[in-house]
Amino acid sequence: MEDSNKFAAAAATNVEGQAQNEERDPESNSIREPLLKRNRTLSSSPLAMVGAKVSYIESLDYEINENDLFKHDWRSRAQVQVLQYIFLKWALAFLVGLLTGVIASLINLAVENIAGYKLLAVMEYIENKRYLMGFLFFAGANFLLTLVAAVLCVFFAPTAAGPGIPEIKAYLNGVDTPNMYGATPLIVKIIGSIGAVSAGLDLGKEGPLVHIGSCIASLLGQGGPDNYRIKWRWLRYFNNDRDRRDLITCGASSGVCAAFRAPVGGVLFALEEVATWWRSALLWRTFFSTAVVVVVLRAFMEYCKSGDCGLFGKGGLIMFDVSGVSVRYHIVDIIPVAVIGVIGGLLGSLYNHILHKVLRLYNLINEKGKLQKLLLSLSVSIFTSVCLYGLPFLASCRPCDPSIPETCPTTGRTGNFKQFNCPKGHYNDLATLLLTTNDDAVRNVFSINTSTEFDILSLTIFFVLYFILGLITFGIAVPSGLFLPIILMGSAYGRMLGIAMGPYTKIDHGLYAVLGAASLMAGSMRMTVSLCVIFLELTNNLLLLPITMLVLLIAKTVGDCFNPSIYEIILELKGLPFLEAHPEPWMRNITVGELADVKPPVVTLRGIEKVGRIVDVLRNTTHNGFPVVDEGVMPPVGSQTGATELHGLVLRAHLLLGLKRKWFLPERRRTEEWEVREKFTCVDLAERWGKIDDVAVTKDEMEMYVDLHPITNTTPYTVVESMSAAKALVLFRQVGLRHMIIVPKYQASGASPVVGILTRQDLRAHNILSTFPHLAKSKVEKGH
């Protein structure tokens, strides 16, 4: 509640400023409002992390549009067509898994070889005592790789920067995140991920893989990129937001599975973190997709065992098998395990807090222009190279333990005992952690039965460095993921605690590192069930389950006491209107009728409307839905006089389709069903049809008529004006609405049957407090 108090206090003290810069819904601009006032951005912080504007973000049409064409389509659809539709759903789920697995394998292959050969060349320079040349080669290679990734993101696909998970989460919540799922962001994400990860930046490919899986799913569902779509009749069934939502959920699950080789964890990640709506049929399809991913990855790894994949060997896919170590813990070990959970929650919330400040600063830098974005990314790359190459010189050389069977020291790319600048028979433990690929660094710090391998000072330097690098790297204009930096940080302090507790516990230091990584991920991302299963699938040891569950629960509980999860913070920074699951308690004191009163009057259309009126409404409003009202309708029972009927809701896209197809009538009359079916199909109504500026209507056509009845959704969701905003928010989110029509509790004769329309923006707590500032003041005074 502390965050709520601060939020309310800010709303109370900034009412006047918000009145001028109020966050407005693109569907709330009235036809009576002057045109000069319409050029508003959607959010008070409209800049994405890479500086891309997100104004005029619209909602998605998840609601089933039950108009005459839809009803006829379902009545006339044969059993064969239904089976074709179901088969195609499963076929697309299979293709999503297959392509995600193949692309993830290629990314891993490229990263391991590029980074591997780079590090081998650096080690050769170091062996020959040519330290300066080694640094110049190391920093230069990292600089060029970062440059490639940053140039692609800055100039070709700004939405490919960052992890992409917050935008996917917003999309599955009902927000149409623009330019996120095209072919260009997909290609840039793939190449950019390879460049950024190979450059040794403190980021992972796990978040980008989730975005890559979602892009693949979206492109498959719509038949390819916008300019090269496959116009196959079967695929057109999926040109709607509902089916696209399900496919993108499969893609997100497949991406997590490809990152961690955790099929069940991938499904649970989609269920717990990104998906707002869930059902059993979707569970089966996502599980099927992740199963395909695992098969592809396993086949790829088996093939690479023959040595045909270059340097791709043990590395490439995060895998730390601790099944070979005996997991023993007693009741007294609960204490250090609980301490790890508390530290993870505290550090996770601190990391979120500082990262929030850093991203706000990056927003200001990125806003200045593309050159500034590039310079920021390249500056971080140079700083990272200096730290990774220079800090191992601060660590002292340690003698090799003859009892360890592994080769010591190692001079190649992989290995737990890197020689670096040490004499024969000695190794540099900090170089083992820093001068390697990120996946190998995870594998090294998680290594089991190596209690004396790392010095406490080296682990401290490693932790502090990756804490700083994680803060300054996330937010630059390259594809980046949060999973790996947090795993590295968490494993470092987990291992440090293992060293400190060495005499008092029997838990292996590698297991302490695993628990530390899990605790920091729960403390920052606030996930529990999916993380637990992911770590269980990775470690391949069921005995870790009880203590892993305990650590995750403690870390999440502690973190929730301070701030929201990192993904919620990024959603706020990007200005995405995400609807939370639980309304604020004070929202029960506001009715939807009061919310409608402060909005401009609702714009309605008649069942048979003039073309000129429709064009005027579309040009002078930004609404995406219009109530269709008929007057003089004879009710089936009751009064013999004509009544006013709310026939339904017609969408802007359907009005544009009618204008484009020139579906005009010379006189005011109702059309026959066969006339409608000649002009439109149900699939046509599922697609979007551009803007009103693209439609040419002559002066004579302006005087003609359009019958809106066949394309009107006759069963829109309506609520009575006395319903509380809290209850309306729950209904809006759970059903997946874009428009909620408010009807009067008492209707006088001849009065309009519509009080107003609520959209996503109207039900957000921030906007309600902006509209009703007295609520924020009373909320602060009462201490709610």
Domain CATH code at residue 491: 1.10.3080.10
pLDDT at site 315: 56
Q: How confident is the model at residue 771 (pLDDT cuts 50, 70, 90)?
A: confident
Same domain as 451, residue 394: yes
Structure tokens at 660: 């484009």
CA–CA gap between residue 502 and residue 505 (Å, rounded): 6
Same domain as 767, residue 619: yes
Domain that holds residue 30: 2-56
pLDDT at site 670: 85
Q: Which residue has the higher pLDDT, 601 or 51?
A: 601
Same domain as 697, residue 631: yes
Same domain as 394, residue 526: yes
749 CB-contact burial (10 Å; exposed 0-12 / middle 13-18 / buried 19+): exposed
- Which SS3 state, helix, strand or coil, does residue 335 take? helix
Burial 528-548 (b: 16+ CB within 10 A, else e): bebbbbbbbbbbebebbeebb
| Residue 275 · residue 286 · CB < 8 Å | no
- Report the chain's terminal Cα–Cα distance, integer Å: 8
Residue at which a domain ends, from 574, 593, 626: 574
Same domain as 660, residue 622: yes
Same domain as 621, residue 660: yes
Residue with tokens 């927003």: 363
Long-range contacts: 502-507, Cβ < 8 Å, 24+? 502/451, 504/332, 504/336, 505/329, 505/332, 505/333, 505/336, 506/328, 506/329, 506/330, 506/333, 507/327, 507/328, 507/329, 507/333, 507/336
pLDDT digit string, tens, across residues 611-661: 999 999 999 888 889 999 988 776 666 555 667 888 899 999 889 888 888
> Within 10 Å of residue 769's Cβ, how many Cβ atoms?
25
pLDDT at 325 over 80: no
Q: What's the gap between Cα 267 and its chain centre?
A: 15
pLDDT at 99 over 50: yes
DSSP element (H, E) containing 741 = strand 740-743
| Angle between helix 165-173 and 566-573 (nearest 10) | 80
| Residue 775 · residue 189 · CB < 8 Å | no
pLDDT digit string, tens, across residues 287-303: 999 999 999 998 988 88
Same domain as 602, residue 554: no
For residue 8, give every residue at least 6 positions away whose Cβ sits within 8 Å of its Cβ, in sequence order, or none. 769, 776, 779, 780, 784
- Torsion over CA: 729, 29, 604, 684 (sign): negative
β pairing state of 605-606 and 625-633 = parallel
Same domain as 45, residue 15: yes
**Which of 72, 15, 8 has the alpha carbon at shortest distance from 678?**
72
Residue with tokens 């991406």: 255
Residue with tokens 């070990």: 333
Task: Please count the structural domains in the chain.
Answer: 3
pLDDT digit string, tens, across residues 417-468: 788 888 888 888 888 889 888 888 888 888 777 777 788 899 999 999 999 9
Same domain as 508, residue 594: no
**What's the pTM value of the predicted model, to 2 decimals?**
0.87
pLDDT digit string, tens, across residues 130-169: 899 999 999 999 999 999 999 999 999 999 998 999 999 9
What mean pLDDT value characterizes the chain? 83
pLDDT at site 613: 92
pLDDT digit string, tens, across residues 215-274: 999 999 887 776 666 666 666 677 778 888 999 999 999 999 999 889 999 999 999 989
Same domain as 600, residue 520: no
Q: How confident is the model at residue 41 (pLDDT cuts 50, 70, 90)?
A: very low
pLDDT digit string, tens, across residues 504-555: 777 778 888 889 999 999 999 999 999 999 988 887 777 788 889 999 999 9
Same domain as 468, residue 351: yes
- Which SS3 state, helix, strand or coil, does residue 171 take? helix
Q: Which amino acid is at 232?
A: W
**309 in a structural domain:** no
> Within 10 Å of residue 437's Cβ, how many Cβ atoms?
23
Same domain as 753, residue 612: yes
